[in-house]
Amino acid sequence: MERLKSPREFSSVYKQGKPYFGKYVVVSVLPTDKNVARVGFAVGKKVGKAVTRNKIKRRLRAIMHDQCTGISPGYDVIVGAKQKSVTASFTDLERDLCRVLKNSGILTSGLNESTGVGEEHA
């Protein structure tokens, strides 16, 4: 799993990709012809100040790191946080993101069910 970094990559996923909505996250997915899945994270200023936004991004990265083996290669994915994600626990955020990823159809294998591991992520 690689990262989406440039603004051009983000804008192409937003313009051409398909969004999938959850309670705490929005996942935009764009099929590509690459042999790897690329993931980017977007947490806007409406979510909160820098400390809050970084906390949400750390949580989302940790969840995606656990799920990265199940994501099919050949997709660009942007995980965006909604304002409600600030009040969500790690477990709630994990369940919502996993459900949205499953609904998007980009997972190759079964989901890693939450085992309580990762609760220490900030």
Q: Does the pLDDT at position 16 exceed 70?
A: yes
Q: CA 58 to CA 45: how far, in whole Å? A: 16
The pLDDT of 58-65, averaged and rounded, is 93
Q: Does the pLDDT at position 117 exceed 50?
A: no
All structural domains of the chain with their residue ranges:
2-103
Residue 121: what pLDDT? 53
Q: What percent of the chain has pLDDT over 70?
A: 88
pTM: 0.84
The pLDDT of 80-101, averaged and rounded, is 94
More confident residue, 107 or 58: 58
Which of 5, 33, 118 is CA-nearest to residue 78? Answer: 5
Q: Does the pLDDT at position 119 exceed 80?
A: no
Fold annotation for 2-103? Ribosomal Protein S5; domain 2 (3.30.230)
